[in-house]
Structure 1
Amino acid sequence: MPLVVPGINSSLGDKNNEWAQKLVGKKISESSSDTFAKKDLPENHRILRAGDPATMDFRPDRLNVLLDETDTVRDVNFG
């Protein structure tokens, strides 16, 4: 069962949905041509590919951008 913290979990879900709509299915690049530019991501973010090591610390303000094998965004989450 997930941890429920009033005032935090509901806003995280809203932010997840917002960023998922912007990013899922797109590629991330340094510039903003036909992809999504890294500079447009929140300051606190990390980009992870399948198999990349990642710390398990929970940071509710950090956007995790999860890429597939073709470097296309497959999912996002905060934490």
Structure 2
Amino acid sequence: MPLVVPGIQSEGGAGIDAWTTKLMGKKLGDGHNETTFAKQDLPQEHRVIQPDSMSTMDFKPERLNIHVDGEGTVKNVKFG
């Protein structure tokens, strides 16, 4: 079951529940702890999307899109 935090949404793709549980509410860094997920353990096909940044609209079902807030905390995770 994914972590449920008010104001944080998740959607999109088979297997997304596992990534949602691992990433939501955490920051990306060099190692794992209660508040950080190690970047090297992300799937090869991923992108981190900052607030107000532009990204392509191409759809790649295997690509994990990780949306973070201004402080780098994961707020949304989806494939596409």
Alpha-carbon separation, structure 1, partners of 2:26 and 2:50: 14
Cα 1:17–1:33 shift into 2, 3 Å: closer
Name the one with the larger helix percent.
1
Alpha-carbon separation, structure 2, partners of 1:58 and 1:33: 29
Q: Which runs of 5+ in 1 are unaligned?
A: 1-11
Using structure 1 for the length normalisation, give the TM-score.
Answer: 0.78
Larger RCO (CA under 8 A, 6+ residues apart)? 2
Alpha-carbon separation, structure 2, partners of 1:71 and 1:19: 17
Aligned residue in 1 for 2:22:
22
Using structure 2 for the length normalisation, give the TM-score.
Answer: 0.77
Question: Structure 2: which amino acid aligns with 1:59?
Answer: K
Aligned residue in 2 for 1:6:
none
List aligned pairs for 1:57-76, cutoff 5 A.
57-76=58-77
Aligned residue in 2 for 1:7:
none
Q: Identity of aligned pairs, percent?
A: 44
Provide the secondary structure at the position in 2 that maps to 1:66: strand
Residue 39 (structure 1) aligned with residue 40 (structure 2): yes
Provide the secondary structure at the position in 1 that maps to 2:15: helix
RMSD between superposed Cα atoms in Å: 1.5
Aligned residue pairs: how many? 67
Higher alpha-carbon Rg? 1
- Deviation at residue 33 of structure 1 after TM alignment: 4.0
Q: Which runs of 5+ in 2 are unaligned?
A: 1-12
